[in-house]
Amino acid sequence: MIEALMVSPRRRQVIIAGLASSVLPALTFAAPQEKLILSGRILDRDGKPLAGAMVAAGAAEVAADADGRFMLVLDTRAYRGVTCDGRPVEGFVSNRRRDADGTWRATVGLTVA
């Protein structure tokens, strides 16, 4: 029974990417001038971290560290999706929450498409 539920790692990535394509746009919030802190990790298609890759969302842009980790701080109105070195990304969102001070925070795992 358990073997029937197992999914290959590649198929799991495809499923997660499909879910992310519907979840990432949902980070566009209706309220004006709210801050969004978007943090996560960017990987290549082989699952290796993209050190130094430029991750951008709206006008905000930052270089990933040696482990592919990044943090962007932006206005929620500016969020229209994330790119890496100008290329689209696939990924998933976790821990989407709002702090006591009204700042939205979301953690993402991204792979260059």
Q: Give the C-alpha separation, 81 to 59, whole Å.
A: 11
Mean of the per-residue pLDDT values of the chain: 77
Locate the domains of the chain by residue range: 2-112
Is pLDDT above 70 for 7? no
Which pLDDT score is estimated for 68?
A: 93
Strand (E) positions, 1-113?
A: 35-43, 54-57, 60-63, 69-75, 82-84, 87-98, 104-112
Is pLDDT above 80 for 62? yes
Q: Give the C-alpha separation, 64 to 42, whole Å.
A: 7
Strand partners, 41: 69, 109
Which pLDDT score is estimated for 1?
A: 44
Which pLDDT score is estimated for 4?
A: 47
